[in-house]
Amino acid sequence: MTRSPTEIACDESGSEGEKLIGGNTTVFAHASLRLTEESAAECIQEIRNRAPSPTLEYKSSIIRRSKHRHALKWLLGSSSPLHGEAHVFLIDKTFHVVGRIVDLFAEDGTSMAAALYRDGEQAFGPERWTAFLQAFNELLRARNGRGSSVSVDMAFGLVDALRLHGAGGLAGHIMELLSQARPRMESYRTRLVADPAMIPALDLLVPAIVQARPPLG
């Protein structure tokens, strides 16, 4: 027997391209939904009935108003058509950047990325930590064949400064490991500039689409 393909509707929120540090949002969300057109239309009409608005395009900001809280609870509750038919994948943008940085020197560096994400700001101070993240965010971005405004030397100069500042702690140890990964970053930048079709490390849609799926069962 052949099965007809399942159609999954997807949408995202919080996308600012590959600018993950210093943007307007700190979290990227990608939702996938399995509903028939009829069920979707009925769901929208029920939302409008519970949270009326004259706008033609119904935005999430409407239903998130305090006066419409009862409608939001219904939409996210067990009696809603969304129950069991929706999946949301969230990405903390800063943690994603930290993870890609740790990838430069560790094959499976999840625990180190978590430690650096958790301790980095306190270990190095907010200004140093933010400057470090912004520099590597810039280096890891795809620029359609163009170079980065931050050089590898500049970024690893910050690494050396943080390594000395955080000496003795776990975050400082991680910086020590990162300081030895300069050749891998140089290689990555060379490949990124030479091949604009290369999948960028900071493109959040790639892991989001991989995670998009219908509900289990």
- Segment 180-186 shows an average pLDDT of 94
71 has pLDDT over 60: yes
Dist. CA 95–CA 114, nearest whole Å: 8
Mean pLDDT (whole number) for 128-148: 84
CA angle 119, 166, 129 (to 5 degrees): 55
The rounded distance, in Å, linking the Cα atoms of 189 and 192 is 5
Three-state DSSP state, 53: coil
Residue 9 and residue 31: Cα distance in Å, rounded? 8
Identity at 211, one-letter amino acid code: Q
Task: Return all residues near 121 (Cβ < 8 A) that are at least 6 apart.
Answer: 129
- Structure confidence at residue 215 (pLDDT): 58
CA distance 135 to 157: 10
Residues 172/166, Cβ–Cβ less than 8 Å = yes
Q: Enter the pTM of the model.
A: 0.85
The single-letter code of the amino acid at 206 is V
Residues 6 or more apart whose CB falls under 8 angstroms from that of 105 comprise: 177, 178, 180, 181, 184
Region 51-61 average pLDDT: 90
Tokens of 165: 């500042």
At residue 46 the predicted structure's pLDDT band, cuts being 50, 70 and 90, is very high
Q: What is the mean pLDDT of the chain?
A: 89
C-alpha 123/C-alpha 180 separation (Å) is 20
Q: Are 49 and 68 in contact (CB under 8 A)?
A: no
Distance separating alpha carbons of residues 121 and 65, to the nearest angstrom: 34
User: Residue type at 52?
Assistant: P
